[in-house]
Amino acid sequence: MLDQRLVRDNPDLITRELERRGLNVDLQPLQKNAQVQRSLEEQRSTLQGESNRIGKQVGILIKSGASPSSQEIEELRREGNKIKQKVALLEEQEKELSINLQKQLLSLPNLPSPYCPDGKNESENKEIRSWGTPRKEKSLLKHWEIADALGLFDSERSVRIAQSRFVTLLNHGARLERALINFMLDLHTKKGYLEVMPPVLVNSASLTGSGQLPKFAEESFRCADDDLWLTPTAEVPVTSLHRNEIIPLEQLPLRYVAYTPCFRREAGSYGKDTRGLIRLHQFNKVELYWFVHPEESLDAHEQITSDAESILQALELPYRVIELCTGDLGFSASRTYDLEVWLPGAGAFREISSCSTCNDFQARRSSIRTKEGKSTRLIHTLNGSGLAVGRTMAALLETGQQSDGSVLLPEALVPYYGSQLIQPQ
RNA sequence: GGAGAGGUGGCCGAGUGGUCGAAGGCGCAGCACUGGAAAUGCUGUAUAGGGGCAACUCUAUCGAGGGUUCGAAUCCCUCCCUCUCCGCCA
């Protein structure tokens, strides 16, 4: 959420910055609303002050022995009632305005960072660096072809269980998934991340706090009878871990790593990536999340990205780092690096991690602050996948595929998977 | 799911209509005492939004939302949550 004061005092700046995202937002009505709301609030609180004084005076009179039906008190009662009516009227107008205002504010995306390169869409994203040498032989298999032959997962039967875009991991596939999760968690916790396993059903306040609501309700699965949703990413519960908190300065930065399944409706991507592990309604992800002092977020962003990269490097998976341009930024992000892993079978780079700094956007929505001297200050939040597990498996299969149909895994996985080779039964 | 109890400041805990943002204690910070510390004493110690250069000041907040009243932490209604016992259950 954007700062309401900024809306009031400098709407042009917001308009200008949102234009960088390709949005055309007229903030004049919003600014007007914010100003009117403040003036109503001013009037109301002045009146309320008068009313409070009357109430106190009656109290004093009665305590000093005046009869409750004395003329003086009757007079004060009448006066109090008059004020009460005025206050009620103002309150009604103010409430309607601020509900409206809040709704509009919650629908505006974050402003792009000054470092975020301008651009219309993903075609204008910038490659920052790359790592490793992609396999580019002809006739390499796609991961689902390799997996089919090895019996690693079953998509068709999963339709029986749920619907399309679900998989059941089988045998070595299930084992590899488990190995990857442990491998990633271990690597990150060794670097000082605190491991958490949060609820994957989250309430709407949590989704609002991290930016998924109100705008992206159609992207998440909802439990019809409760105010609960299946989390689309661990970013949601982990943000809310500290919602409405003041975190002592000396505790920052807080760095969490969370493994959770993630659930997404993938509305609007019919026909895209219908096979394999790339785009599922349910997938596993290990997520990195930082709560940092506002002045640390720039460095933290580099660090969280590099922590995500370290998994790809340990798994010997070639990748490149892309900086998203303003037009491709996610709703809550002010700056984002995507890690794209090379999929030899597909012959393409695919996103496997997205590392974003949200500055104070989520912190304001979730009211997460720290204390500096006498005043409180919103902290900054960052998140990054470290990594999407299913896509990691896809990359491992395609990258390690051998001509005999087996798959050679990176050495780092041996202690976790138990072998360096996945072989046909 | 059934029965009961309860939600007050960082924590404990008083407060059942009247200058209550809320006694007291603990914790924390500063000061005093000390060679230093402990103990002791004094002072301070919530958040948000307005106004003021500032000292400061106004408003709101006692789980949430409504209501009664000149006045609500206190009374009434609805909801949420927590705890205990029973049942069920991984």
Are residues A233 and A312 located together in one domain of the fold?
Answer: yes
* Residue A370 · residue A252 · CB < 8 Å: yes
Q: What is the C-alpha separation between A352 and A341, in angstroms, rounded?
A: 6
Q: How confident is the model at residue A358 (pLDDT cuts 50, 70, 90)?
A: very high
Roughly how many angstroms between the first and final C-alpha of chain A, as a whole number?
Answer: 53
Assess whether A100 and A152 both reside in one domain.
Answer: no
Tally of domains in chain A: 2
pLDDT tens-digit readout, A259-280: 999 999 998 888 889 899 999 9
Do A212 and A287 belong to one domain? yes
- Tell whether A127 and A90 lie within a shared domain: no
Encode pLDDT of A105-164 as tens digits: 999 999 999 999 999 999 999 999 999 999 999 899 999 999 999 999 999 999 999 999
Final residue belonging to a domain, choices A73, A106, A139: A106
Confidence bin at A1 (pLDDT 50/70/90):
confident
Query: Which nucleotide has the least CA–C1' distance to A227?
Result: B80
CA A4 to CA A149: how far, in whole Å? 57
Boundary of a domain, candidates A106, A141, A160: A106
In this structure, what CATH number is given to the domain that contains residue A220?
3.30.930.10
Q: Do residue A21 and residue A133 come from a single domain? A: no
Q: Please spell the DSSP secondary structure of A196-231, one letter per residue.
A: E---SEE-HHHHHHHT-TTTTGGGS-EETTTTEEE-
pTM over 0.80: yes
Residue A316 burial by CB count (10 A; 0-12/13-18/19+): exposed, middle or buried?
middle
Q: Which of A74, A106, A138 is the last residue of a domain?
A: A106
Query: Å between A95 CA and B66 C1'?
Result: 14
Measure, in angstroms, how far nucleotide B2 C1' is from residue A203 CA: 27
The pLDDT score that the predictor gives to residue A96 is 87
CA dist A193 and A96 (Å) reads 44
Q: Which residues of A are catalytic?
A: 264, 279, 351, 354, 391
CA of A251 to C1' of B36 (A): 30
pLDDT at A313: 98
Query: Is residue A116 one of the residues assigned to a domain?
Result: no
pLDDT band at A226 (very low <50, low <70, confident <90, very high): confident
**A259 part of a folded domain:** yes
The domain in which residue A51 lies consists of 4-106
Q: Is A112 contained in some domain?
A: no
d(CA A264, CA A219) in angstroms, rounded, equals 6
Instruction: Mean pLDDT check: name the lowest of A222-226, A237-241, A334-338, A355-359.
Output: A222-226
The pLDDT, as a whole number, for residue A15 is: 95
Cite residues whose beta carbon is less than 7 Å from strand B: A 4-5, 38, 41-42, 44-46, 48-49, 51-56, 58-60, 62-63, 68, 76-77, 80-81, 84, 95, 246, 369, 371, 375-376
Name beta bridge partners: A342. Answer: A349
Is residue A111, in this structure, part of any structural domain at all? no
Which CATH number fits the domain that encloses residue A97?
1.10.287.40
Which chain B nucleotides are covered by protein, judged by CB under 7 A?
18-19, 47-50, 58-60, 66, 69-72
| pLDDT tens profile A297-353 | 999 999 999 999 999 999 999 999 999 999 999 999 999 999 999 999 999 999 999
The distance (Å) linking the CA of A359 with the C1' of B46 is: 26
